[in-house]
């Protein structure tokens, strides 16, 4: 009986593992300079609690000179994307 109680306590303190998977399909029309894509994101809430909302942070224009990402990198002394000439950067 004591063993069952200890197992229940250990199980109650273990964080729930969430499961996320995704599939991305993309095509590049190189001559036109057009990239098209679609993504499917599957999130499985494996906790006993109801998930009432989900937030996604998308880094739009992250690799474009002057973006917030580039500004943050520059503040840390990193220069990964801010000095790329057109057409090497993306947005």
What whole-number distance in Å separates Cα of residue 84 and Cα of residue 63?
9
What whole-number distance in Å separates Cα of residue 41 and Cα of residue 22?
4
Angle at 80 between CA 85 and CA 60, to 5 degrees: 80
What whole-number distance in Å separates Cα of residue 63 and Cα of residue 89?
6
Q: Which of 77, 40, 73, 42 is nearest to 59 (CA)?
A: 73
Segment 69-82 shows an average pLDDT of: 79
What whole-number distance in Å separates Cα of residue 47 and Cα of residue 34?
41
- Three-state DSSP at 68 gives helix
Residues of the chain above pLDDT 70, percent: 79
pLDDT digits (tens, 9 = 90+) for 42-60: 988 888 888 898 888 777 7
- Its pTM stands at 0.46
Q: How confident is the model at residue 2 (pLDDT cuts 50, 70, 90)?
A: low
Q: Which residues pair with 23 in a beta bridge?
A: 40
Q: What is the pLDDT of residue 90?
A: 65
pLDDT digits (tens, 9 = 90+) for 64-73: 777 777 788 8
């Amino acid at each position: 009986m004591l063993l069952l109680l200890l197992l229940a306590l250990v199980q109650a303190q273990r964080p729930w593992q969430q499961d996320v998977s995704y599939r991305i399909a993309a095509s590049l029309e190189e001559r036109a300079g057009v990239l098209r894509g679609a993504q499917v994101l599957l999130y499985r809430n494996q906790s006993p609690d109801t998930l009432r909302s989900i937030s996604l942070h998308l880094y739009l224009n992250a690799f474009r000179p002057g973006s917030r990402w580039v500004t943050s990198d520059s503040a840390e002394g990193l220069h990964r994307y801010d000095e790329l000439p057109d057409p090497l950067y993306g947005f």
